[in-house]
Amino acid sequence: MEIEAFFPYRLAVTAEAFSRQLVAVYLRAYGLTREEWRLLFLLDDAGEIDSLSLSQRTSLDKVQVSRAAARLEGKGLITRAVLGSDRRLRHYAITPAGQALFAEAFAEVRARADEILSEMTEAERTTLAAGIAALGALLGGVLGVSRTT
């Protein structure tokens, strides 16, 4: 079997290529790494979140979250605090500056995603969305977030 015909490989390569198109927007224009973007994205959606909930809603590991959170806190875009006596648990919240920056960046990221997807027909986009939803449901609802990251 040729690797290019293997569905998991094709899906991973396509998803990475699409993601790189969006990274180009938020990294170049806003100086946000992929991990920072994902954390801001989740916080904009939730307002605040604890580390347990965060780990359930993202593919980022604890080290990636910790480093991204430290950078975002240093930029004044989020706050983080230790939850109770367990120093491993954290509470994250987006600041007004973080909300403003995310809203501006999200508009540009969404425009870039829409630009790419506009090259597909409406039927292709509908079929793609249905396929992604079906695959996500089969994998345990991994796509519970309503916007593209």
- Please provide residue 2's backbone torsions phi and psi, each rounded to the nearest 5 degrees: -80, 140
Six token digits for residue 121: 């027909």
8 by Cβ neighbours in 10 Å (0-12 / 13-18 / 19+) ranks as exposed
Question: Tell me: the pLDDT tens digits for 102-149?
Answer: 999 999 999 999 999 999 999 999 999 999 999 989 987 655 544 444
pLDDT attached to residue 141: 61
Residue (of 59, 16, 9, 139) closest to 131 by Cα position: 139
pLDDT digits (tens, 9 = 90+) for 62-89: 888 889 999 999 999 999 988 777 777 8
pTM, rounded to two decimals: 0.81
